[in-house]
Chains A and B, each alone.
Chain A
Amino acid sequence: MLHIINQSPLNSSTLDTCLNTATGGDVLLIEDAVYAATKGNAAEAKLKAAMGKFKLHVLMPDLEARGLGDRLMDGVTAVDYSGFVDLTSNNKTCQSWL
């Protein structure tokens, strides 16, 4: 299953709820959620801990827009828009955590 998060981790409980509820699979961070995957942010430890359970991905154009393309933390895979499409088509179900 693919889980899509679009809220900033420091402004919303969406990422926490997803990581605590979902049992595994792919997690894709888009829009303001990409801040969660940046080095040195307060959600970094949480995301690192989730790496054993989930495959983490970040939408690179959103990270670059925010000036943080060079701060992606290790263990998170960068994807472009076609990678986004691949993730949705390779998973049977997809949940957008709005």
Chain B
Amino acid sequence: MSDAKKFMFVNRKAPYGTIYALESLEVVLITAAFDQDVSLAFLDDGVYQLKKGQQTKGIETKNFSPAYRALEDYDIEKLYVEKEAMAARGLTEEDFLVPVTVLSRAEMGKLMDDQDVVLSF
């Protein structure tokens, strides 16, 4: 795809407390439908979006976490997690719903520089 651009979605908010995580996911799926080169970056509290075992029955809110598992069906397989953010929250790669690439902050910064479009949530 010669006209495909490199899109990065930067996710820095925890799920449920605000609408950002869900909104990001919606836009990611739209972008994928246009055959763009999509990367998802999870920084700060954004790493919580990928936590396994979310059960939202008690707060009567839609559990949208299974949608992260469906991303690969849309050829979205570039998921990057900030190593420092993960460590500060007591999480490891095994805690996540989907396979991710763990990057240091410095590596994440370089990856951002490589993008054509960066969208922040």
Contacts and interface: CB of A to CB of B under 8 A. Distances in A.
A41 B90 contact: yes
A71 interface: yes
Contacts of A65: 16, 54-56, 58-59, 61, 63
Interface residues of B toward A: which range?
Answer: 20 to 34
A64 interface: yes
Given A32-B17, A42-B88, A67 B54 contact: yes
Nearest to A40: B90
B48 interface: yes
A68 B14 contact: no
Nearest to A70: B53
B54 A38 contact: no
Contacts of A38: 89-90
Given A10-B89, A41-B88, A42-B88, A35 B14 contact: yes
Interface of A: 6-8, 10-11, 31-32, 35, 38-42, 44, 60-62, 64-71, 80
